[in-house]
Structure 1
Amino acid sequence: MTSAPTRPRRALLALAVGSFGIGMTEFVVMGLLPEIARELLPAAWASSQEDAIAQAGWLITLYALGVVIGAPTIAASVAKYPRHRVMILLAAALTLFNALTLVLPTFELVAASRLLAGLPHGAYFGIGALVAADVMGPGNRAKGVAFVLTGLTVANVVGVPLGTFLGQNLGWRWAFVLVVAIFAAATAAIAVTVPRRAGEPSRTLRAELGVFRIGQVWFALGIGAIGFGGFFAVYTYVSPLVTEAAGSPAWVVPITLVILGIGMTVGNLVGGHLADVDLIRAMFGLLGLLALSLLLLALTSGWIVTVVIFVFAVAFAASAVSPTIQTRLMDVAGDNQSIAAALNHSALNTGNAMGAALGGAVIAAGFGFAAPVWVGFLLALAGLGIAALSVTLERRHARTPALV
């Protein structure tokens, strides 16, 4: 893995390019829901813009469902194969399925393509995280994970706002022209830079699925799925939150997305550092900060200045939580590392689907475009409660090595 001093860094950079593409494809839809609804759901748009936007939100839910399905099944199935080959195939699949989103003509077909595009997502990040952890070595695993995730967070600073701008001015499909180009570049870069490593024939599908017999794995997944759902309840509907709840023009949306992306990027790096220093305290502190930020955003959603400030805070806290959950899963999963690393993204995208669906439901029910923020606050509190229960039971029964 370290045959040349610069090769590990190049490999991590190649993986980060792919995660940049994933960040774009996952999140750019959130800023373009009105444009997508207007083109693909014209009848619903003419009848009720709120209903059309809520219906378009299912594209986000279906992508997240693809991640939930694909993360454990793909990661467990390919655990025995050489990781560099698996990463090339996953990046190529992401290129193909996003190309389908670009060209398919109807809402139903685009929705199917979003489900397909989500399938390789979790396995890409999970196996990529293992490559990064190997490169970084003991004591720096969370930093390695955070480096791979940096591409995703930087996408929210540069890629998502740029894609949103292109989509608002040239048509939403132009955002996916950029997405497909990025994935194609990532596929080539991974093929050249990711070090070759022999597979592990003993890691069969059946062996990997043994991870689901570990109780603490379920707690960690619950923290990610429910607690992180609070972030997605906000992110999914950030465009109408800015334009409708805060009464700002559409051009403010890309600016808000840039600020949100900066919060995610900084939070990811800080979270990786804190997780390596004290994992449990970092997890509790950051989940608490997420809940507080969501509460303050909900209380001040009528003013664009406070919306921007607390959107940054929400993004910072949520992104910082991610490497703590990833590392927690790797700690409690024993030998089942491939599937555990991927399951983090299955959990986070369960939160994505939950946040998008519940946020859309409260909007469609007539509670207003700030209502998803309150949903997010309740989900973050629930995630904090699950974390408290997990650590309490772990300490009581001493089932795993000390983590504090």
Structure 2
Amino acid sequence: MKRSLLPLTIGGFGIGMTEFVMMGILPDIANTLHITIPVAGHLISSYALGVVLGAPLLVGIAGNYPPKKILLGLMALFTFCNALSSFAPNYQIMMITRLLSGLPHGAFFGVGAVVASRLARRGKEAQAISMMFAGLTIANIIGVPLGTYIGHSMSWRLTFVIIAAVGLITMASIQKLLPDLPVVGESNLRKDLKLFTHVEPWLILGITAIGTGGLFAWFSYIAPLLTEVAHFGSDQITWILVLAGLGMAVGNLIAGRMADFISPIKATALFLLLMVICLITVYFVAPFKVPLLIMTFITGAIAFSLGAPIQILMIRASNGSEMLASSVSQAGFNIGNAIGAYLGGLPIAAGFGYTSPEWIGAMLAFSGFALAIMVYFRQKSADSYELATSH
């Protein structure tokens, strides 16, 4: 891996940790702030809202600054707000700090993806972006279990102190290792918003929000699936989630190479179709421990394979608004999080059991696959037209 990509990986680790560790320390926060667990769950929604709002807003404001300065500013905001979370005295303040902590998430990954693609050798852009998302997968293997353990055995406030420390390390590495890339073109929000007058970015956003909803319909309810259907002990959940995280890390690395080899849109369609197959398989093997463990690894790998190909798709469809497009793509992932978790919970509430979200997830992933096929034929048609007119 290029040393210049390391700051993006470390930043991805910090962001992944602050997003996903909340699921593990939610009971501890609820107990300290004297609220119920469902009310504490709103802290997760608050963070996701921050991601959706912050992605276009912060990139729109900072678009004319060099990428290195933007990333430093975003990570400074990330560090400050997570430090504030560690001191939050009540639920209301914690809601605000979680919202603010989410603001730089999408913008960091969006700008980082553009930076990674510029630093990459020609034809290796998706692999470079996958190095940034590798931080997110490592967070699920190391950071989230560690943060959860510290939150349980010591204090959840210390978990946020550690996240803030990762933010400081990221800022130092950005300053030392990231080259000073120039601003490409003049950016203004009015020009960048013309991105949304084109059909293809909307289709890609639909793939992201709907297709990745399949991942979150599965992952949001993986704990009760493991305990209530496969009858694993609650003390085994953390290590099974580490297994899913290992799958995500492997899938992320494979995806970068696959997207560069067969094209981002083909890779996206392929992984969405494989996700449909994986989720249906999970439904049938859920009562059996060993097959379910195998599918937990494989499903994690397939699900996280979508990150780099979709990011490249959005950058190439940006019509000169790379940073905004890339950041909006990150907002799409968080919309997918909300859609998958909400829809996946409906059949459980209706009494269909903890395997029922897999069918919801499969339908969402298949819908994303259908949109990917539409984008594929649109691109193929455009390429044919360009070829014809060039002659």
Query: By the TM > 0.5 criterion, same fold?
Result: yes
Cross-structure match for 1:249: 233
Cross-structure match for 1:3: none
2:360 partner letter: V
1:291-310 alignment to 2 at 5 Å? Answer: 291-310=276-295
Answer yes or no: is the 8 Å Cα contact 1:146–1:272 preserved in 2. yes
CA distance in 1, matches of 2:384, 2:90: 51
1:186-201 alignment to 2 at 5 Å? Answer: 186-200=170-184
> Larger deviation: 109-118 or 240-249?
240-249
Q: 1:304 to 1:31 in 2, by over 3 A?
A: farther
Match for residue 170 of structure 1 among 149, 154, 177:
154
How far residue 180 of structure 1 moved from its aligned partner, in angstroms, is: 1.6
Match for residue 263 of structure 1 among 247, 262, 267:
247
> Larger deviation: 105-114 or 321-330?
105-114
Match for residue 372 of structure 1 among 357, 364, 369:
357
How far residue 397 of structure 1 moved from its aligned partner, in angstroms, is: 5.9
**Are residues 1:128 and 2:112 paired?**
yes
How far residue 396 of structure 1 moved from its aligned partner, in angstroms, is: 4.5
**1:356-375: per-residue Cα shift (whole Å, max 9, x none)?**
33344544555444443333
Pairwise CA RMSD: 2.3
Cross-structure match for 1:342: 327
Match for residue 199 of structure 2 among 191, 215, 223:
215
Cross-structure match for 2:23: 30
CA distance in 2, matches of 1:337, 1:86: 14
> Larger deviation: 209-218 or 188-197?
188-197
Q: 1:151 to 1:350 in 2, by over 3 A?
A: same
**1:237-291: per-residue Cα shift (whole Å, max 9, x none)?**
3333333343322221211121111111111110000100112321121111111
Answer yes or no: is the 8 Å Cα contact 1:129–1:148 preserved in 2. yes
CA distance in 1, matches of 2:194, 2:229: 46
Answer yes or no: is the 8 Å Cα contact 1:332–1:400 preserved in 2. no
How far residue 400 of structure 1 moved from its aligned partner, in angstroms, is: 8.4
Cross-structure match for 1:182: 166
CA distance in 1, matches of 2:227, 2:153: 16
How far residue 198 of structure 1 moved from its aligned partner, in angstroms, is: 3.3
Q: 1:78 to 1:201 in 2, by over 3 A?
A: farther
**Are residues 1:18 and 2:18 paired?**
no
Answer yes or no: is the 8 Å Cα contact 1:264–1:316 preserved in 2. yes
How far residue 169 of structure 1 moved from its aligned partner, in angstroms, is: 2.8
Q: 1:249 to 1:390 in 2, by over 3 A?
A: same
Answer yes or no: is the 8 Å Cα contact 1:394–1:400 preserved in 2. no
Cross-structure match for 1:63: 47
Report the count of equivalent residues.
Answer: 386
Q: 1:209 to 1:277 in 2, by over 3 A?
A: same
1:226 is paired with a residue of what secondary structure?
helix
Cross-structure match for 1:155: 139
1:251 is paired with a residue of what secondary structure?
helix
User: Unpaired runs of 5+ in structure 2?
Assistant: none
How far residue 131 of structure 1 moved from its aligned partner, in angstroms, is: 1.4
1:118 partner letter: G
1:270 partner letter: I
Answer yes or no: is the 8 Å Cα contact 2:266–2:376 preserved in 1. no
CA distance in 2, matches of 1:399, 1:36: 56
CA distance in 2, matches of 1:373, 1:144: 32
Cross-structure match for 1:320: 305
Cross-structure match for 2:318: 333
**1:156-194: per-residue Cα shift (whole Å, max 9, x none)?**
111112222223333433432321211121112212221
1:342 partner letter: S
Cross-structure match for 2:74: 90
Q: Percent identity?
A: 38
Q: 1:377 to 1:148 in 2, by over 3 A?
A: same
CA distance in 2, matches of 1:33, 1:370: 23
Answer yes or no: is the 8 Å Cα contact 1:60–1:356 preserved in 2. no
CA distance in 2, matches of 1:250, 1:144: 37
1:15 partner letter: L
CA distance in 1, matches of 2:55, 2:80: 18
Match for residue 96 of structure 2 among 112, 115, 118:
112
How far residue 350 of structure 1 moved from its aligned partner, in angstroms, is: 0.9
TM-score norm. by structure 1 comes to: 0.88
1:349 partner letter: N
Answer yes or no: is the 8 Å Cα contact 1:31–1:238 preserved in 2. no
Answer yes or no: is the 8 Å Cα contact 2:114–2:315 preserved in 1. no
CA distance in 1, matches of 2:62, 2:335: 22
Match for residue 277 of structure 1 among 253, 256, 261:
261
How far residue 227 of structure 1 moved from its aligned partner, in angstroms, is: 0.7
User: Unpaired runs of 5+ in structure 1?
Assistant: 1-7, 45-51
1:267 partner letter: G
CA distance in 2, matches of 1:317, 1:140: 20
